[in-house]
């Protein structure tokens, strides 16, 4: 019996205890996983890892959005998809609007403000920087001790005789009076913010609120103190929205 017990005890002593087994197992596992954790930490510690991951994720999201947008564009309804004739609806609408609008006559072309331009010439131009030195001198008005640039043109006959002054455009008379220095003056209002001004007149034949037609005689050319050196003449101006503009931009060429 003593021999058998010894053998049994020897066998039992050769087996590891539970504590020793667990310790060996844990140490074995730790021995295998420790290098893996150390490598991962070293990898994630690199500065470029997380930015690279963000860029990759952004590229994936952008690709998904582009693919989705492409599918939306394909499904978008158009006039052709609906079976409409392109331009048909717009043309119908445009015609309807045109039918509702009143018919407006086209603006008249300017005419020279004289019944007969034979023997009439421009004796004073509109002052403009593009003029030559001699032309600029002609476009300066001297009155007493002052010099003023011309805001219009002056027309006179070569024989210094009076002539009929006519409306350059159809319109409504908004001024007809005798003014100091410049003499009798008539102002006519037209469309598109235009007005025409006529002074140095004699025998004015229109009154305020009169409707005048293009070419209608409104007065005769006369004289004034402001431009007395010009003798018998017509001073003619064109205003756009209250500002004087060059009449030559509107008047036709003299035949």
Q: What is the pLDDT of residue 151?
A: 96
Judge whether residue 210 has pLDDT over 70.
Answer: yes
Residue pointed to by tokens 């006529």? 198
Instruction: Compute CA 92 distance to the chain's CA centroid, rounded to the nearest angstrom.
Output: 29
Domain assignment present for 224: yes
> Can you say whether the dihedral through the CA atoms of 192, 248, 151, 229 is positive or negative?
negative
Least confident of 6-20, 43-57, 205-219, 227-241: 6-20
Q: Which helix (H) or strand (E) holds 56?
A: helix 49-75
- Res 57: pLDDT: 60
pTM over 0.85? The answer is no
176 within a domain of the structure (yes/no): yes
The predicted pLDDT at position 92 comes to 40
At 97 the pLDDT is 40
Asked whether the beta carbons of 105 and 133 are under 8 A apart, the reply is: no
Which structural domain range is residue 199 located in? 120-249
Q: How far out from the chain centre does Cα 132 lie? A: 35
Examine residue 93 and state whether it is found in any structural domain, yes or no.
Answer: no
Domains in the chain, number: 1
Q: Are strands 194-202 and 183-189 parallel, antiparallel or unpaired?
A: antiparallel
Residue 78 has pLDDT above 70, yes or no: no
Q: CA angle 104-106-109, nearest 5°?
A: 150
Mean confidence (pLDDT) of the chain: 74
**Residue 201 domain flag:** yes
CATH code, domain with 152: 2.70.70.10
**Can you give the pLDDT at residue 76?**
41
Q: What is the pLDDT of residue 39?
A: 54
In a domain, 185, yes or no: yes
- Say if 140 falls within a structural domain: yes
In a domain, 228, yes or no: yes
Does residue 207 lie within any of the structural domains? yes
Which tens digits make up the pLDDT trace of 5-62? 444 444 444 444 444 443 444 444 444 444 444 555 555 555 555 555 555 565 566 5
- In angstroms, the Cα distances linking 167 to 9, 71, 115, 206 are 143, 68, 9, 11
What proportions of the chain, in percent to the nearest 5, are helix, strand and coil?
35, 25, 40
Please tell me the distance from the alpha carbon of residue 224 to that of residue 233, in angstroms, as a whole number: 9
Q: State the CB neighbour count (10 A cutoff) for residue 187.
A: 19
pLDDT tens for residues 113-155? 999 999 999 999 999 999 999 999 999 998 888 999 999 999 9
Q: Higher confidence at residue 150 or residue 88?
A: 150
């Amino acid at each position: 019996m003593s021999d058998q017990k010894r053998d049994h005890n020897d066998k039992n002593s050769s087996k590891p205890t539970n504590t020793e087994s667990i310790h060996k197992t844990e140490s074995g596992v730790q021995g295998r996983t420790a290098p893996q954790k150390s490598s991962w930490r070293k990898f994630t510690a690199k500065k470029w890892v997380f930015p690279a991951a963000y860029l990759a994720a952004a590229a994936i999201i952008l690709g998904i959005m582009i693919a989705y947008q492409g599918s939306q564009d394909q499904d978008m309804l158009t006039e052709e998809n609906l079976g409409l004739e392109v331009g048909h609806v717009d043309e119908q609408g445009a015609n309807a609007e045109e039918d509702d609008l009143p018919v407006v006559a086209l603006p008249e072309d300017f005419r020279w403000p004289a019944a007969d331009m034979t023997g009439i010439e421009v004796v004073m131009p509109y002052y403009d920087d593009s003029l030559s030195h001699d032309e600029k001198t002609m476009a300066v008005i001297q009155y007493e001790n002052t010099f003023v640039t011309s805001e219009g043109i002056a027309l006179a006959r070569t024989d210094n005789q009076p002539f009929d002054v006519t409306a350059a455009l159809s319109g409504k008379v908004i001024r007809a009076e005798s003014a100091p220095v410049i003499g009798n003056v008539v102002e006519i209002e037209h469309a598109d913010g235009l007005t025409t001004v006529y002074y140095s007149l004699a025998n004015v034949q229109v009154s305020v609120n009169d409707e005048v037609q293009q070419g209608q005689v409104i007065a005769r050319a006369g004289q004034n103190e402001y431009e007395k050196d010009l003798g018998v003449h017509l001073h003619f101006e064109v205003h756009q929205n209250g500002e004087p503009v060059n009449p030559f931009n509107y008047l036709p060429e003299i035949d």
